[in-house]
Amino acid sequence: MQQSESVENYLETILVLGNSLPVVRAVDIAEELGYKKSSVSVAMKNLREHHHITVTKEGYIYLTDSGREIAEMIYERHNMLSSWLKRLGVDKKVAEEDACKIEHVISKESFEAIKKVIQ
């Protein structure tokens, strides 16, 4: 199922924050992405309704299996593509920005082909 770039970005952010924080809250996501907390709250409701996250009564956000699968796929693409672009001589900041754009539009087939060449 094709996900929107926004959904993928939120899930990836939850994954990354979860690796560095004891718990992830909407305020953490808002700070990380530079969004208003109200916008993040609407997005979290959408992610909950699509069963990509669960939210405890304390407001702690956890990825479900489906949310984790999407987040890890996007995170892998981001890391591999940004690393590859940097090795090609692209400036670090530009490589990170471009990888963030490419990770959402590249087909699974094309990514797997690039992955084979890179590794």
Structure tokens at 18: 């979860």
Q: In the chain, what are the domain boundaries?
A: 5-69, 71-118
Helices (runs of H) and strands (runs of E) counted in the chain: 6, 2
Q: Give 5-69's CATH code, choosing from 2.60.120.1060, 1.10.10.10, 3.40.50.2000, 1.10.150.120.
A: 1.10.10.10
Query: What is 71-118's CATH topology?
Result: Diphtheria Toxin Repressor; domain 2 (1.10.60)
pLDDT digits (tens, 9 = 90+) for 28-64: 999 999 999 999 999 999 999 999 999 999 999 999 9
The pTM of the full predicted model, rounded to 2 decimals, is: 0.89
